[in-house]
Amino acid sequence: MTYDTQPEASHHIGGRYVEDTAGAAIPVIYPATGDRIATVHAATASVVDQALAAAEAAQPDWAALSPRERGRILTRAAQIMRARNHELSVLETRDTGKPLQETLVADATSGADALEYFGGLAGTLTGEHIPLGRDWVYTIREALGVCVGIGAWNYPTQIACWKAAPALACGNTMVFKPSETTPLCALKVAEILTEAGAPPGVFNVVQGLGETGARLVTDPRVAKVSLTGSAPTGRKVYAAAAADMKHVTMELGGKSPMIVFDDADIENAVGGAILGNFYSSGQICSNGTRVFVHGAIMERFLDRLTARLTTAVIGDPLDEATSFGPMVSEAQMNIVLGYIDKGRTEGARLVTGGRRVDREGFYLEPTVFADVTDAMTIAREEIFGPVMSVLDFDDEDEVIARANATEYGLSAGVFTRDLARAHRVTGKLRAGTCFINSYNDAPVEAPFGGVKASGVGRENAQAAVEHYSQLKSVYVRMGDVEAPF
Ligand code: NDP
């Protein structure tokens, strides 16, 4: 089945598509061929203003709806999203280049999970009654106001939903700016929320580059900013938001460790390392890109890894048999090729891959380096591509110290059959999410986010509610006021 990729217009504001061709043209490139599949225009100052004005105007009435009514709209949006999963997955594939095999199960479906989860949660968001003898305090959980969401290019549908669902459930409205690299999918989220009954202005999408994001972040009408992006951008956005004491959620990058002990089930550990390095062609923030393997099992691990990598099906992402697609853009492919070069020149052993695939589009081979040391660039910097660094270790304390020796702290994984060790080690790993004998699961029921330079705040789960609402305490005196004079 073919679907249109050119959207009706660039932005979605106040419940309808809005165009302003005065904004710079942004070409949308299909990464598997390099062909232009659509064009959108960056938001002009007037478009940004329209979106913020629409969100500001809609917010009081949206917050005044009964939470269950807001929840019902989100739940309905989840149902529409599931019903349109195939179409949305094809669009996600064309926007990002990720194989349809993945997008059918990991994108609109994950977005629908978030809408459904927070739709259900909306009616349960209550305050507290705090007795103080005769007097008492009650708390009201209030919306923050207008929230801004800014997305990265790797999971455009999921990121829009992970931000919109808790924000809207709590009674906020949102202006969302997708990455300029993948501008198409968030427009569908806006379309679907509107179809589900979200009043005009509740969820708006504007296109643009970093400067559009910066304009949104600094606008005085905005109460909160949630960014998914790199750590350098996070630092800028956090600082800009801090100037006006705005709330923030920062979902940033990582250089996460995965530790494979000598008693691990090797096939499961190899499976985890594949999922944590090559799913979405390695373009996942939580990837376990530093794979620490115990020296005693190193060669067996590498043998099984290289054998299983030969079964990757590299090809047209729209073919459901394809399991490994291109990089999102030529620019990202070149960044990753630069890291592969650094790995070689700094003395890592190239076990497999390392080259651009000889076909149209921005394809790289799944790449594994062994004999990587902690000081090498590929072991320190986030690559955001299909490059796994394998490091060896002998001792538990040593590997924990090395795993933690990074500015990042998004995720960490441990493979071992010794459960006491698994819990002991995860207790010492400095990461927002840890996996035991697994990697990269991200159910909406579990809080997701980083520590250290990987970010602040949490998405998903009940934890997200804390970041999209604030508490008002109301002190109620039941007797007379006793003033000193
Ligand atoms: P970037 O940090 O380059 O961009 C993220 C978003 O911020 C884009 O929409 C970008 O616009 C926008 N932006 C850039 N500068 C500013 C600014 N000064 N003010 C406001 N907004 C701005 O990240 P990428 O898009 O390259 O995504 C990859 C990064 O995202 C990786 O580091 C990855 O680890 C991280 N990431 C983190 C996740 C997490 O949950 N922790 C999940 C997924 C990715 P534009 O690019 O259009 O110019």
Bridge-based pairing state of the strands 469-476 and 257-260: unpaired
Percent of the chain having pLDDT more than 90?
Answer: 99
Ligand 1: distance of its center to the CA of 210 in Å? Answer: 9
Instruction: Look up the domain containing 458 and give its range.
Output: 11-253+454-472
Q: Which two tokens stand for residue 409?
A: 């702290």
Ligand 1 close to Cβ of residue 51 (< 6 A): no
| C-alpha distance from residue 367 to each of 122, 274, 284, 370, 433 (Å) | 44, 11, 15, 10, 25
Same structural domain for residues 209 and 268? no
Q: Is residue 3 in some structural domain?
A: no
235 & 284 share domain = no
Ligand 1: distance of its center to the CA of 301 in Å? 34
| Centroid of ligand 1 to alpha carbon of 456 (angstroms) | 15
Query: CA–CA separation, 168 vs 96, rounded Å?
Result: 26
Determine the Cα–Cα distance for residues 449 and 385; give it in Å rounded to an integer.
20
252 touches ligand 1 (CB under 6 Å): yes
CATH number at residue 324: 3.40.309.10
Atom of ligand 1 nearest to the CA of 232: 2
> 448 phi and psi, to 5 degrees?
-130, 130
Nearest CA to ligand 1 atom 11: 210
Residue with CA at minimum distance from ligand 1 atom 19: 214
Same domain, 270 and 238: no
For ligand 1, atom 14, the nearest C-alpha belongs to 210
* Residue pair 371/364 in contact by the 8 Å Cβ criterion: no
Helix, coil or strand: residue 36: strand
- Residues 180 and 277 grouped into a single domain: no
- Give the C-alpha separation, 74 to 161, whole Å: 10
* Under 8 Å between Cβ of 152 and 179: yes
Task: Identify the helix (H) or strand (E) that includes residue 435.
Answer: strand 433-436
Residue with tokens 């927002």, as numbered in its chain: 432
Show which residues are catalytic.
251
Q: Are residues 236 and 311 in the same domain?
A: no
pLDDT of 4? 86
**Low-confidence stretches of the chain (pLDDT beneath 50):** none
Residues paired with residue 150 on neighbouring β-strands, in sequence order: 177, 227
Instruction: Give the span between the Cα atoms of 409 and 300, in whole angstroms.
Output: 29
Pocket test for ligand 1, best of 110, 163, 179 (most atoms within 8 A of CB): 179
Q: Give the C-alpha separation, 28 to 35, whole Å.
A: 8
Atom of ligand 1 nearest to the CA of 233: 2
The finding on whether 151 has its CB within 6 A of some atom of ligand 1 is yes
Whose alpha carbon is nearest atom 13 of ligand 1? 210
Strand extents, DSSP E, 88-208: 129-132, 135-143, 146-150, 173-177, 203-205
- Same domain assignment for residues 57 and 156: yes
Is residue 479 situated within a structural domain? no
With H, G, I as helix, E, B as strand and everything else as coil, classify residue 350.
Answer: strand
pLDDT of residue 3: 79
Distance 228 CA to ligand 1 centre (A): 6
User: Does 335 sit in the ligand 1 pocket, CB within 6 Å?
Assistant: no
The model carries a pTM of 0.97
Q: Is 176 in the pocket of ligand 1 (CB under 6 A)?
A: no
219 lines ligand 1 (CB under 6 A): no
Please tell me the predicted confidence (pLDDT) of residue 1.
54
Q: Where are the beta strands (DSSP E) in 203-256?
A: 203-205, 222-228, 247-251
Strands 203-205 and 173-177: parallel
Residue 4 lies in a domain: no
C-alpha radius of gyration, the chain, whole number:
23
Ligand 1 atom at minimum distance from 454 CA: 41
Q: Which of 230, 329, 330 to mutate to test the pocket of ligand 1 (most atoms within 8 A of CB)?
A: 230
Residues 98 and 239 in one domain: yes
CA–CA distance, 164 with 149 (Å, rounded to integer): 8
The token pair that represents 254 in the structure block: 């990582």
Residue 150 in contact with ligand 1 by CB distance below 6 A: yes
| DSSP designation for 319 | S
Count of alpha carbons within 13 Å of 278, Cβ hemisphere only?
A: 27
Whether ligand 1 lies within 6 angstroms of the CB of 237 is answered as: yes
Answer whether residue 484 is part of any domain: no
Ligand 1 centroid to Cα of residue 183, in Å, is: 13
Other C-beta atoms within 10 Å of 379: how many?
23
CA of 155 to the centre of ligand 1 (A): 11
Are residue 150 and residue 239 in the same domain, yes or no? Answer: yes
Asked, for residue 446, whether it belongs to a domain, the answer is no
Cα(458)–Cα(246) distance, integer angstroms: 16
Asked, for residue 442, whether it belongs to a domain, the answer is: no
Cβ of 92 closer than 6 Å to ligand 1, yes or no, is no
Asked whether residue 287 falls in the same domain as residue 240, the answer is no
In a domain, 412, yes or no: yes
C-beta of 229 in contact with ligand 1 (< 6 A): yes
CB-ligand 1 contact for 451 (6 Å cutoff): no
Asked whether the beta carbons of 102 and 440 are under 8 A apart, the reply is no
Q: Is the CB of 253 under 6 A from ligand 1?
A: yes
pLDDT at position 63: 98
Using the mean position of ligand 1's atoms as its centre, give its distance from the Cα of residue 152 in Å. 4
In total, how many domains does the chain have? 2
Could you tell me if residue 387 is inside a domain? yes
Each residue of 176-201: pLDDT tens digit? 999 999 999 999 999 999 999 999 99
The DSSP symbol for 130 reads E
Tokens read off for 205: 């999408």
Maximum alpha-carbon separation in the chain = 87
Distance 160 CA to ligand 1 centre (A): 13
> 240 and 250 in contact (C-beta within 8 Å)?
no
Predicted confidence (pLDDT) per residue in 322-343, tens digit: 999 999 999 999 999 999 999 9
Q: Measure the CA–CA gap between 107 and 89, rounded to whole angstroms.
A: 7
Q: Do 347 and 247 have their domain in common?
A: no
What are 2-49's pLDDT values in tens digits? 678 999 999 999 999 999 999 999 999 999 999 999 999 999 999 999
One domain, residues 432 and 465: no
| Stated length of the chain | 485
Question: Which region, left, alpha or beta, applies to residue 95 given φ > 0 means left and ψ of -120 to 50 means alpha?
Answer: alpha
First vs last Cα of the chain: how many Å apart?
A: 80
| Helical segments of 279-410, H only | 298-309, 330-345, 377-380, 396-404
Q: Same domain for 459 and 431?
A: no
Q: What is the CATH number of the domain that holds 43?
A: 3.40.605.10
